[in-house]
Chains A and B, each alone.
Chain A
């Protein structure tokens, strides 16, 4: 196949990828968008086969390995529970990162195959691109592995910090740049390997100080990195599809990180430098006097809701942990039968990844037009009778609006306290991730329901 034709076909697959993302602007068009993405991928792979044109026994192995990877991927995709989506995405990011590293290594070892020169004398520009692709890929890989372990619960979600952490990270980053520079001047394979190893190390070090609830930012950031790694390799291979895709994914991840940071009213650097909650607790501990709370049982909750005309449900990470989304939907069905208006309010950083709650509710067959974002629904709380907070905490804390001393001051929160009554499903009175008490617990109109989210929801349904 001529180089020009394949370049045009790669461009087409790049455009199809743009359409795949474009489709996600609404659920109706999204399925068609995904199809565009698949077609784009098929085109890119086919064109590559045709342009390499090497249908020897190696080709058979390529198909075999493709099939192995494909079946593993398909198996995972069908088996994975929706609550495990953050882990899955983190795991997939790590694979893209590692694949980028492998491709870069291969290009470094055998540059002739890619038309980049000969070993020891690789074109300067290609070498820089290769080094960038490999370094960013390695950071994506080790960072995603840590994120995966934290989300999976294998590793504690608590931030891990030590003295001189930032200094060490800064030194490593500088040394990556220095190494890249030396690599370009002497093309030493050893330097290339060292570069990859310390990139693995820095990925690991960057993610360990970041706590569990900051995971939405981390996942988005790693998403962005995987894109930049792909783009770096795309430049090396002079492949348009890869360059376009890398740029799309890179900017997509960056935008998501921005949205997540804004949802917490924190700067990106503040999140990345980490250690949130571990260091800033001092203010909260001082006034630990016992304040009275009203606690109730499923019966009370059912009574309140039965007499309401509108209910707003505020789900959070706790709902995902308790797998309570199906029980919740059943409760809502019963409420609707009693002509009670029900809607859902989703905070941007609820859960462990962007859109986490929406997927869980969709899984439980909640129609997406009953689910609203913070800005859409916040003014409705004042007119609603009952707010049902299930597994959320910090995102409802009114202190973010009133106390400039609070670490979460300025964070956009759901105006749950404006509801006539608030039902708060929670295991105990323990503070949320930010390590601060939630004023909402002690309000006159709040009824605490101390129980597992799923069990409580089921009990309420029985009592309705």
Chain B
């Protein structure tokens, strides 16, 4: 009997939860704020769905009832991707070790 592809995706999902669990516990508490901003940025990979939705109407109609939601989602996700990664970068650049600025 063939296995439903859904089961494969479910397996990936469950295993990823475990990977996430162990990876996140190893994050140092002082970086919890950057952790939140970077998870924010990567969860915006939902833009993949937004792009598919936006490009779904291939005829002359560019803004169909479904693609318009795609375009809106692209804007939202793009704000998040750029904003999230850049603000994380900005924060991480501030974490310095001793001796660098000690007079």
Contact = CB atoms under 8 A, between A and B. Distances in A.
B76 A98 contact: yes
Interface residues of B, number: 88
Given A92-B40, A373-B29, A31 B92 contact: yes
A103 B69 contact: yes
Given A82-B91, A106-B50, A243-B12, 8 more contacts: A95-B77, A242-B45, A242-B48, A245-B43, A337-B103, A354-B32, A358-B29, A371-B30
A307 interface: no
Classify the secondary structure of A's interface with B: helix
Contacts of B96: 362, 365, 367-368
Given A40-B42, A56-B58, A65 B75 contact: yes
Contact of A18 (B19, B52, B76, B97): B19
A78 interface: yes
Interface centre among B26, B49, B65 (most CB of A within 10 A): B49
Interface string A229-250: 1110111111111111111111
A6 B25 CA distance: 31
16 contacts: A21-B27, A22-B26, A24-B34, A40-B42, A58-B55, A65-B78, A92-B40, A107-B66, A110-B57, A230-B46, A247-B20, A251-B21, A255-B21, A354-B33, A355-B34, A368-B30
Interface of B: 5-6, 9, 12-14, 16-21, 23-58, 62, 64-67, 69-103
Interface in A1-60: 10, 13-14, 17-18, 20-22, 24-27, 30-31, 33-34, 37-38, 40-41, 44-45, 48-49, 52, 54, 56-59
A332 to B, nearest CB: 11
A73 B57 CA distance: 27
Classify the secondary structure of B's interface with A: helix
B18 to A, nearest CB: 8
B19 A370 contact: no
B46 A100 contact: yes
A249 B42 contact: yes
B49 A239 contact: yes
A253 interface: yes
A76 B83 contact: yes
A12 to B, nearest CB: 12
Given A25-B28, A70-B78, A247 B49 contact: no
A61 B58 CA distance: 13
B53 A246 contact: no
Interface residues of A, number: 120
Nearest to B93: A31
B86 A358 contact: no
